[in-house]
Amino acid sequence: MAILLDRSCRLVVQGITGREGSFHARVSREFGTNVVAGVTPGRGGSDVEGVPVFNTVEQAVRETGANTSLVSVPAAGVADAILEAADAGIRLIVCIADGVPTLDMVKVKPYLAKRGARLIGPNCPGVTSPGERARVGIMPTYMFRPGGVGVVSRSGTLTYEAVALLTEHGLGQSTAVGIGGDPVNGTNFIEVLTMFEADPETKAIVLVGEIGGTAEEDAAAFIKAHVTKPVVAFIAGRSAPPGRRMGHAGAIISGGTGTAESKVAALEDAGAVVVETHVKLGEAMASLLRERGISA
Amino acid sequence: MKIHEFQAKALLRDYGVAVPKGAVAATVREAVQVADEIGYPVVVKAQIHAGGRGKGGGIKVAANRDELEAAARSIIGMKLRTPQTKPEGQHVHRVLIEEAMTPARELYLGITLDRKVGQVVVMASEAGGMEIEEVAAASPEKILRAYVDPTIGFLGFQGRELGFAMHLTWEQVRQTADLIARLVRLFEEKDCTLAEINPLVVTQDGRVLALDAKINFDDNALFRHPDIRALRDLDEEDPLEVKASETGVAYVKLDGFVGCMVNGAGLAMATMDVIKLMGGAPANFLDVGAASAERVASAFRVILSDPDVKSILVNIFGGIARGDTIATGIIEAVREVGLNLPLVVRLDGTRAEEGKRMLAESGLPIIVATDLLDGARKAVEAGQR
């Protein structure tokens, strides 16, 4: 099971002839993911380490039955690449590119909804389901173990930290999802939480948020009303001053909203265990599961 | 990216939005020329990016040439301190001279992105001229909203609805709706993150115009707007942040003493949080991104040029960036830039063990931490000594 990604994944890598694209195609294959195609306009007919390259996503889908796409193209071409994938009938699009203009995403979103395609990202580490040997994105793979904890995060390296800490405490993962740090992203916390709640393999959830916006507060309200599984959460940026953008375009405290305090309070009110440093994520999850008599 | 009020007003003029008569001046002489041409009374407004200029003495009204000269002399070259500037203030290089007016009404108009909805929102209010955050907190019903449909765009009736809801006359509604439509077009065409007119005024003779203007742009979209990029004023930015951004390193100067270098924005914030938890204070936010040897070296240079830094904590979780590559970068950088501060390194992830061994064997005075808590504790202690 797991969410979003399972063994049925047939991956096409948009931008496969680039440095990042070819590298991550290889890592995904080594992990056991079925990488069926690459796309680089003008390079159709060639191959990258045995993976056939096509000029268009439509062609790749027609020839190889690709159903999932990794978008690894420069920021200026991201909106175009995402729309091309959606138009070709790809149902899951993972965009790792950063630096994407916000208004491009504002225009992309309604088109995706119309085509029934789901986007993860942009500016995200992607999705990994270790039990399904499925990895789409840039996550390192060595720290994953199959298991029952779902991880959802707005930050890349903090996702890796969370997974490594869980594994260190004997807790495997169903799926790890990095939703990305941009102001407008394809998939939000609530959508991922909904999937984790419905997934029988997922027994507990780790949520990693950060300052800026109100996505964590919205997630907390959703957890309170709809999530029965145990949740351990961390919010990065307690020490960040207001009005300064902390790297991610979305991570800025402005006009008194988006503070760590308000997010922590909302999550605690929703019954989540909120750790004061991400280093405690694994430990807190292990003890919470022991307390509730749940094995994951 | 932020721009000055006079630059914002020039953009508004380009888009056909009415603004007061005026021009920018860098010297008292220029100020006199501009004011003489406009006619008195005039307003003299300091051009810095920070808000709250009036409170710090950066905005003055001059009824005649003598008053104008005095005002321009006192503002040009001053270090203007407002609640939004650094404590030492911001140097004023230019003033905007404009016709002074006593508006009949002061409204608020702002366009920004509603992250929750994922759409551009136009906000309008009859409570103009005030801090809009305060209005939003105290009486949110006083702020009207209209969303810009991403596929259809902003529609005529939406502007009219906002205008009528603010109890404007039909003639003023027509002007306001037209002005809003133009501002939305500017916002979308130039990839703004904020276009705010506060106040939007109705003059005694019934004209609607933008008395103040604040426009911010999406840094991610500047690659397609060379005209906007040209408006950047480096004097308004922290020189260290500018230096870092040139090499692709995201850096924000803070007021603590532990310099940090981290890969990933989220982890960088989480590392700052751990430093605070250990009783220290971070000197900066720094996301080195994809940690190549060159980036690591450039990040070191930036951290070391901050005199407030007393110790350095490097926290890298190597995913794609490998531990041995990062160790090479750190060793090279330390040899190149020299190091006279305690340096604590926490390396985890891909090939971390190799990296740690390389650091230990380098013969450099690098403290290798077992984990992040250990590393943060050591960096804080070393910095306090």
Q: Is B44 exposed, middle or buried (0-12, 13-18, 19+ CB in 10 A)?
A: buried
- Residues B260 and B379 occupy one common structural domain: yes
Of B99, B130, B157, the domain-final residue: B99
- Residues B208 and B243 occupy one common structural domain: no
Residue ranges of the domains in chain A? 11-120, 143-291
Report the share of chain B in percent with pLDDT over 70. Answer: 99
Report the share of chain A in percent with pLDDT over 70. Answer: 98
Average pLDDT over residues B118-146: 86
Q: Which amino acid is at A92?
A: L
pLDDT at B292: 74
State whether A276 and B320 contact (CB < 8 Å): no
Interface with chain A: mutation pick from B82, B111, B115, B152, highest number of A CBs within 10 Å: B115
Q: What ipTM was reported for this prediction? A: 0.91
pLDDT at A76: 95
Number of domains in chain B: 3
- Report the distance separating Cα B23 and Cα B21, nearest Å: 7
- Residues B245 and B376 occupy one common structural domain: yes
State whether B269 and A246 contact (CB < 8 Å): yes
Q: Which range in B135-144, B179-188, B262-271 is most confidently predicted, on average pLDDT?
A: B179-188
- Residues B282 and B360 occupy one common structural domain: yes
**What are B263-303's pLDDT values in tens digits?**
989 999 999 999 999 999 999 999 988 767 778 888 888 99
Check pLDDT > 80 for residue B132. no
Query: Per the domain annotation, does B170 fall within a domain?
Result: yes
- Residues B77 and B132 occupy one common structural domain: no
Query: Per the domain annotation, does B1 fall within a domain?
Result: no
Check pLDDT > 70 for residue A249. no
Average pLDDT over residues B210-225: 96
- Provide the mean pLDDT of chain B: 92
Give the homologous superfamily in CATH for domain A143-291. Succinyl-CoA synthetase domains (3.40.50.261)
- Report the distance separating Cα B101 and Cα B61, nearest Å: 10
State whether A236 and B113 contact (CB < 8 Å): no
A77 in B contact zone (CB under 8 Å): no
Of B99, B128, B155, the domain-final residue: B99
**List of chain A residues whose C-beta atoms are within 8 Å of the C-beta of residue B108:** none
CATH of the domain at B376: 3.40.50.261
Q: Where are the beta strands (DSSP E) in chain A?
A: 11-14, 35-39, 47-48, 51-54, 68-71, 92-95, 118-120, 126-129, 134-137, 146-153, 173-178, 204-210, 231-236, 273-274
Cβ atoms of A232 and A284 within 8 Å: the answer is yes
Query: Per the domain annotation, does B254 fall within a domain?
Result: yes
Q: pLDDT tier at A121 (50, 70, 90 boundaries)?
A: very high
Q: pLDDT tier at A5 (50, 70, 90 boundaries)?
A: very high
- Residues B183 and B243 occupy one common structural domain: no
Average pLDDT over residues B37-52: 95
Check pLDDT > 70 for residue B338. yes
- Residues B41 and B144 occupy one common structural domain: no
**What are A34-71's pLDDT values in tens digits?**
999 999 999 999 999 999 999 999 999 999 999 999 99
Q: pLDDT tier at B245 (50, 70, 90 boundaries)?
A: confident
Task: Please name the residue of chain B whose CA is at the shortest distance from the CA of residue A99.
Answer: B220
- Provide the mean pLDDT of chain A: 95
- Residues B188 and B274 occupy one common structural domain: no
Average pLDDT over residues B98-112: 95
Q: Show the domain range for B345.
A: 238-384
**List of chain B residues whose C-beta atoms are within 8 Å of the C-beta of residue A246:** 252, 265, 268-269, 285
Query: By C-alpha distance, which of B154, B192, B203, B191 is closest to B18?
Result: B203
Query: Per the domain annotation, does B16 fall within a domain?
Result: no
Nearest CA-CA distance, residue A7 and chain B, Å? 24
- Residues B262 and B323 occupy one common structural domain: yes
Bond prior to A200 in cis (omega within 30° of 0): no
Contacts of B100 (CB under 8 A, 6+ apart): B40, B41, B42, B43, B61
pLDDT at B72: 96
**List of chain A residues whose C-beta atoms are within 8 Å of the C-beta of residue B118:** 105-106, 109, 184
**SS3 (DSSP) at B168:** coil
- DSSP, res B2: B
Question: Phi, psi at residue A264, to the nearest 5°?
Answer: -60, -45
Average pLDDT over residues A267-295: 96
- Residues B195 and B306 occupy one common structural domain: no
- Report the distance separating Cα A132 and Cα A9, nearest Å: 9
A207 in B contact zone (CB under 8 Å): no
Which of A70-74, A277-281, B331-335 bottoms out in mean pLDDT, i.e. has the lowest? B331-335
Of B190, B209, B229, the domain-final residue: B229
Assigned architecture for domain A11-120: 3-Layer(aba) Sandwich (3.40)
**List of chain A residues whose C-beta atoms are within 8 Å of the C-beta of residue B261:** none
Q: pLDDT tier at B139 (50, 70, 90 boundaries)?
A: confident
Q: Vertex A124, ends A119 and A126: CA angle to 5°?
A: 70
Bond prior to A52 in cis (omega within 30° of 0): no
- Residues B195 and B152 occupy one common structural domain: yes
- Report the distance separating Cα B311 and Cα B382, nearest Å: 6
pLDDT at A256: 67
Task: Say whether B196 is catalytic.
Answer: yes
pLDDT at B336: 83
State whether A238 and B276 contact (CB < 8 Å): yes
Interface of A with B in 140-179 (CB under 8 A): 140, 142-143, 153-158, 160-161, 164
Nearest CA-CA distance, residue A240 and chain B, Å? 7
Q: Do domains A11-120 and A143-291 have the same CATH topology?
A: yes
Nearest CA-CA distance, residue B204 and chain A, Å? 32
Q: pLDDT tier at A273 (50, 70, 90 boundaries)?
A: very high
Interface with chain A: mutation pick from B116, B273, B380, highest number of A CBs within 10 Å: B273
- Residues B265 and B199 occupy one common structural domain: no
